[in-house]
Amino acid sequence: MSRKCAVMAGSVVVALVAAGITFQNANVSDDVLQFTVRTLTPNAAGKLATALGDGLPPSPAAGPAFTDAASGRGLLLVEAYADRWGCTVRDPFTETVWAEVTCSP
């Protein structure tokens, strides 16, 4: 994996995890954060997939980033670096936010 690809993929993973932590901190009354992160090594076509699952729908959406804001740019990074990304809601209590980054093999 090239350095450029590693930076792009790493940025996507960090942005998804940070968004999950931020959202759970704002919406959970106890001190327990619960989510899973899964990242697969690039396949033969150079596609790296990552997913973050938690139990707190609604689905995330990238919004405007304000220049003086301390946060709010994570999903914009995901949009910029990922070839595709989205959210799969499995039931009223489980969602998985996923992204795919393709790197030249």
Ramachandran angles phi, psi of 103, nearest 5°: -115, 150
Contact 20, 53 (CB under 8 A): no
Closest alpha carbon to 82 in 50, 43, 45, 104: 50
> Given this model, what pLDDT does residue 58 score?
56
Contact 15, 25 (CB under 8 A): no
> Given this model, what pLDDT does residue 29 score?
58
Residues in the chain: 105
Sequence-separated (6 or more) residues with CB below 8 Å from residue 50: 9, 12, 13, 16, 37, 38, 39, 40, 98, 99, 100, 101
> Given this model, what pLDDT does residue 24 score?
65
> Given this model, what pLDDT does residue 69 score?
61
Per-10-residue mean pLDDT, the chain, length 105: 83 85 64 65 74 65 64 81 86 80 76
